[in-house]
Amino acid sequence: MLKRIMNRREEENRVRSENRLPPGQSLTQKFPVLHYGPTPRYRPDLSDWDFRIFGLVVEEERWTWEEFMALPRTSVTMDIHCVTRWSKFDTLWEGISLQTLIEEGIVRPKPEANYVIQHCDYNYTTNLPLDVMLLPNVLMATHFDGEPLDVEHGYPLRVVVGTFADRSEDKSAYFWKGGKWLRGLEFRADDRPGFWEQAGYHNEGDPWKEQRFSYS
């Protein structure tokens, strides 16, 4: 156990020296499970699952699981930071990038669209500006570390907002800004705070600015 603690401290010191550990955060080698409410259960073939693109788009879409999985896919390696003060580094995710869907004309937001609301099971929502959702460090993920997501981590689909090791993207957010059990994206002209944002969490949630709560 002592060796494990020492290894964790050495790894934490390394990422801190590389300017990858946001203020107030600690490295974890585990993957904590945190969410509000029950965990959804789906049929094994996901025949009861669909995904919607709606709101301020030229054409609304509704995809089955098979149709969604046929969309262009990508993989990214990112660091992730939870508002509860843990950070996990060099995590590998695979899924669908909204940036790619828009570049390929599969999703066509209207000019007045400025925000994207993530709609998840049990009416959970969270919000991000469209320009953040289009960054390469934001992904609609189906796989983590080469395997399908665990149910507790958002299976079959969740949004992941991370940070690249070189900090090449100047916008990021705490992990809660990526909703688990994602079922749709709503494009809007105006912002609409989601579940945790209405409960007092910061609307932007930038880990490098420690934007944990709206009053901080």
Using the 8-state DSSP alphabet, how is residue 118 labeled? E
pTM for this prediction: 0.94
Q: What is the DSSP string of 170-185?
A: S----GGGS-SSEEEE
Residue 66 has pLDDT above 70, yes or no: yes
Q: pLDDT digits over 105-117, tens only?
A: 999 999 999 999 9
Count of C-beta atoms within a 10 Å radius of residue 62:
12
Q: pLDDT digits over 74-95, tens only?
A: 999 999 999 999 999 999 999 9
Q: pLDDT digits over 129-142, tens only?
A: 999 999 999 999 99
Q: Are strands 26-27 and 86-96 parallel, antiparallel or unpaired?
A: parallel
Domain boundaries, the chain: 2-209
Pull the structure tokens for residue 179: 């909703």
User: CATH second-level architecture of 2-209?
Assistant: Alpha-Beta Complex (3.90)
106-121: string of b/e by CB count within 10 Å (b at 16+)? bbebeeebebbbbbbb
Using the 8-state DSSP alphabet, how is residue 39 labeled? P
Q: pLDDT digits over 31-58, tens only?
A: 988 887 789 988 888 999 999 999 999 9
For residues 87 and 27, the answer to whether their CB atoms sit within 8 Å is yes
Dihedral (Cα; 62, 65, 70, 71), 10-degree rounding:
50
